[in-house]
Structure 1
Amino acid sequence: MNESMHVVACAHGTDDQDGQRAVDCLRAEVADLSRRRGIDVRMHEAYVDVQGPRLDDVLASLPVGERAVVLPLLLSTGHHTQVDIRRAVRSRPGTLAAAPVGPDRRLAVLLAERLAQAGLDDGDRVVLASAGTRVARGTEEVVQMAAWLGEELGRPVTAAFGAAAEPHVRDAVRHHRAQGGRRVFLASYLLAPGFFHNLLTRSGADVVTSPLLPSGLVAECAVDRLAEVLHLASHEDS
């Protein structure tokens, strides 16, 4: 593939400095892996909340007539993909939007690794903890990730949310406490440290795994999303 275009890697944004560094590293990994896979990218950073530069401003600054792709560094469909990113993309001709990084079965493998590193044992209960969204498709995607993680672990995994959707993470932890079991583990389905990961640490679980970053797997998933939208666009152009 010999594409040369602007790629706007759009993350949520966070005040957490460790979270900012993790996303910066991911963006650099995505740019490097894209080029190694033959996608000639000019990478830009952008955010939909908390941090700048804002996505609208980045797109407005790009040269008129040059192609661009917004690559969401987000794990699932939600308000930011369906409203913020979609609106920004429509505001600039020649701009495409890739799908979010997840759901992706490889992320279930990564989550299972995080749980193993945290000491998951027989008898422990597992909750997949996501930030949460009111968008039904996004909730379904998290439930799918929980099912894939359950297959990796060979045990049931409950999907829960930090906000906007049910069950809430705290309620899922309480439920497992009532059912018995030695410990309750939260598998953090978040990219990086920040507000929502801090909420998980106050949920009452025995163990909370670290976020998905750093991991080369996340960059691989993101580059696949970029390649998919470019492949689709090339077929539409032909």
Structure 2
Amino acid sequence: MDSAPRRRESRDLPPGFTDLMNDIIKYAASFIKGFDLKESEMREIVREFNKISDEVRKMQETTDKARTVGGTVLALGILATPLTGGLSLLAVAAAAGGGAVAVVGTNITKKIIENGSAKKVEDLGKQFMEKVKPLKEILEEIKTTCEKLEQKKTEVQAGNTLKDMEEFQRVLRRVAELGKRSGQVLDVAVMVMNIIGHLLRLFGIVFRVSATPEQDREFRESIIQSADQCQRVFDNFDNMKEELKVFRDTE
């Protein structure tokens, strides 16, 4: 872990408290530096992910419209059947339209694979997870250290002056806020890793001929969801960096 500026020692804080505060400052510096080093690459990954996601979303919308039209034609065919037996053929054709929509969905997945977008998504997902993991681990350290600091409040001796206690409580409030915030950002990071992990597992299914239309659709929706969550993680990490800067510079 990189070294970081130490806390000012002039404050008379409870025993063991200063060391834990120094640990938070150290982890904060590591997160800030780590994100700064990865920021441009993460931003590019998110940009490429969103670009592919937008393409998939547009193709998916076309498929959904085809499904809606097919369902409408089917309903009209069923209503018209009692009037004329000949129109029952329309109902049969409409019923077959459901299969046609499934074929359209499968063709979307096939197109994604053939134009290289699927492989690119796989690579982007792996790269993003590699960059998120070390930053996630730092957030875990920050959250754990904040929890240890909050536990210290039960160890404060009654002999401390009112001024010391006021300072201690002020710092504890800041620590509690940081612990809560780091936990929230950590949850988002864990979520995106789980979502991308699921997406990568789907690759083993859609590349097989046995993939069902439902699995094809799940694969496409997973691409969209992964892109959205990658953007969310990036935004949260960016905000977390700024919050850690403020905490580091004011404590």
- Highest RCO, 1 vs 2 (Cα 8 Å, sep ≥ 6): 2
**Higher strand fraction (1 or 2):** 1
Normalising by the smaller structure, the TM-score range is: under 0.3
For normalisation by structure 2, the TM-score amounts to 0.23
Q: Computing the radius of gyration over CA atoms, which structure comes out larger, 1 or 2?
A: 2
For normalisation by structure 1, the TM-score amounts to 0.24
